[in-house]
Structures are given as structure tokens and as C-alpha cells.
Amino acid sequence: MTFRPIGIFDSGLGGLTVLAALRTRLPREDFIYFADTRFLPYGNRSEAFIQNRSRKIARTLAAKGVKAIVIACNTATAAAAETVREAVTQPVIALEPAVKPAVALTRTGVIGVLATSRTLSSNRFQRLVQNHASGKLVISQPCPGLADAIEIEGPESVRVESLLDAYVPPLATAGADVVVLGCTHYPWVLAGIAARLPGNAVIVDTGEAVARQVERRLQGERLPGGYGQLRIATSGNPRQVHETIARLWGVSLHVESWRL
């Protein structure tokens, strides 16, 4: 069997929350995870910048022989899903804030969405809300600084705590009973978000739904199978990424340095 991993990327290590769901669902698949940490965060960058980076990353992954590409970043999906699809011939699986499942879950009719400014201001997100949440009140809460604080200072850092204090309670005050994690970094601070919401609030993440979608795509394209291997690469400092993974996942993994 030839080595045909699934390529997966994010601005940093938020996409590891998606990778974890993928590895649980598809333990025999091989993965190459690319963290674009040299350019983290994507959340306040221009659309053109994110499109350029995403195109470059997708082509690099394609050149390494991946059989599919997962965009494990809401911000890159919002800005560049079409760009990535045009850049490569492999199936591309993108993710978006779980507004549709939230509509089915809400009882108060108020849904909170935590995401980057770039995701929330995108046409793609506006369309998602218009097409699937009409009749509901969707409160979009941009969270500048949160993804990078989680990654650089750690999920339990003082900085993260104070950002959560600023971003989460307004959703509770507005009556949101469902809160969507619209950025793949945020599952790392799930407990901190839950602690700032009423006990009966539901928090929705996309990791598992994406894993199911990847599984369906691979079966549909007759592409499943591998050895269960994982490679990690970064455009930034491999040592730093190694340390962050050790802190977040508690494992010591070799991290490759890719100049792109």
C-alpha cells in the first residue's frame, strides 16, 4: 500500500482538536498536520493574505502525495475554501461554525457564536446564518486575541481567563442557550467557556462532524486505509510547536520545519 496521508492544516494548533476527532474515528488513516504558526493568528488578517497562505499550503500538501485535504480552520474556510478547491485536485473538506446543529438544539431561540473577526465578517458566515437560522437570534461574538493567547500563553493563562471574561458572559446575558465554538482553538478552553454559561447551556463543536464527513468522503472516493501514522510540520519554530503539543496533548512528537 502506498503512503497516502490526509493533509490537514490550521493557522496553528487549533486544528489539533479536529485531528484528534479524525484519529479517533479513522485510526488506520495517516495524517500530515501543518500548523502555519509563523502567521498565527489568521483571525485579523486580510482575506487575500489567508487565500495566498491557504493556496500555498494546499499545494505543498498535494505535492507530498496527500489523498485529501481538511481545512481545520474556520477562518481559512471562510476566506479561502474555494481558493483551496481550485488549487488542488484532491477532495477538500472544509469546516464552518455549527450554526445548523445549533438551530436544532436551541429552546430560547438565541444562539451565540464565538469565532474570529474574519470568520464572522465573511460572506460565507452571513449566508450560513441567513440560510439556516432565520427566525433565531444569532449573536456573533468576535474574540480577537483568544486563539493566539490559547496557543502562546496556554489555555489556563491569565490572559485567556480575562478574554473569556470579556467574550462569554454577554452571550449568557442575552439568553443564549446554545453556544457554537466557531474556531478550532476554542475547544481547548471548553471548561472555561462552560464555567461562564448557565449549567444547561449546550456548547457545540465541529470536530466530530468533520471526522464523519471525511470518513464519508474517503469511502465515496474509495480512498480509505493507511498505517495510523502522523507527521506534524510548521512554518514557524518547530521547537515551540513541539512544546505546545507536549503541553496540550501530553505527548512528545517530532515536528518538521517547512519553509513556505
Which of the residues are catalytic?
A: 73, 183
**In the range 230-249, which residues lie near ligand DGL by CB under 6 A?**
none
The CA–CA distances, whole Å, from 135 to 90, 113, 128 equal 37, 16, 13
Contact between 17 and ligand DGL by CB under 6 A: the answer reads no
- Nearest position to ligand DGL, beta carbon: 43
Please give the distance of CA 46 from its chain centroid, rounded to a whole number. Answer: 18
Rounded to the nearest 5°, which phi and psi values hold at 7? -90, 140
Residue 71: CB minimum distance to ligand DGL, A:
9
Contact between 125 and ligand DGL by CB under 6 A: the answer reads no
Residue 50: CB minimum distance to ligand DGL, A:
9
Place of cell 514557524: 236
HSE toward the beta carbon, residue 35, CA cutoff 13 A: 31
CA terminus-to-terminus distance, the chain? 29
The CA–CA distances, whole Å, from 209 to 21, 132, 215, 243, 260 equal 9, 17, 10, 28, 30
Contact between 40 and ligand DGL by CB under 6 A: the answer reads yes
One residue of 147, 178, 193, 203 binding ligand DGL per CB under 6 A: 147
One residue of 75, 122, 140, 234 binding ligand DGL per CB under 6 A: 75
Residue 258: CB minimum distance to ligand DGL, A:
18
Please give the distance of CA 169 from its chain centroid, rounded to a whole number. Answer: 23
Contact between 5 and ligand DGL by CB under 6 A: the answer reads no
One residue of 42, 125, 167, 258 binding ligand DGL per CB under 6 A: 42
Using CB under 6 A, list all residues that contact ligand DGL.
10-12, 14, 40-43, 73-75, 116, 119, 147, 183-185
